[in-house]
Amino acid sequence: MADLPGRALRAARLLNGEQRTAAAAALLLIVSTFGPFSFVEAGELLIAGGVLALLFARAEGKRFHLPFGDGTVIAAAGVWSGALIVARLFDRPLGQNLLALACAAILFLAGARERAKRPADDLPLEHETAPIGSRRPPRRPGAASEAATEPLPPPEFKPYEPRSGEQLHLAPDDQEDV
């Protein structure tokens, strides 16, 4: 538990741009709940905490399946938090509502960009998000060209040679002419 801030900083460095934007929007969504507190704000905290937990788990290399992928789930979290904010629109100060709506919009847009970037199978490629403990050194630029292989020779075949007095035909030898 004492190493959690260090792990969180390492995880933030491993996230891509859309994921970092979603994490920042989730943190600001948490900040926007300060003030009058109700079940709506509790729902916003739950949404923001879920997004942060998802991003932290992905940065640590955890593999699990989410329906429709990470980007869709993050975008849906933005839409749902926006709906919760609108439901409580007149009970909170205008500045707090504008901050919360901006955070929900940023969360939605970051999720939509992540969805466009990665297909719905949602498992990140090895080079996109590596686990924190298993960092591999980067490959040299010319490493792939050094291991080039020779192309295979074409398959050998025996060309068709008609026998003397035989008419050319396209059927294989084992079929009889009709």
171 confidence band (pLDDT: 50, 70, 90): low
With CA atoms as reference, report the closest residue to 25 among 44, 3, 6: 44
pLDDT value for 66: 77
Residue at token pair 């009970």 = 91
pLDDT at residue 19 above 80?
yes
173 confidence band (pLDDT: 50, 70, 90): low
105 and 77 in contact (C-beta within 8 Å)?
Answer: no
The residue with greater pLDDT, 103 or 152, is: 103
The most confident of 18-22, 125-129, 174-178, by mean pLDDT: 18-22
Mean pLDDT of 154-162: 74
Range name among 48-62, 106-120, 121-135 with the lowest pLDDT average: 121-135
pLDDT value for 161: 75
Mean pLDDT of 23-48: 89
Interior CA angle at 53 toward 7 and 59, to 5°?
50
Mean pLDDT of 42-64: 87
114 and 18 in contact (C-beta within 8 Å)?
Answer: yes
pLDDT at residue 122 above 50?
no
- Pull the structure tokens for residue 102: 């901006």
pLDDT at residue 1 above 50?
yes
Q: How far apart are CA 44 and CA 85, in angstroms?
A: 8
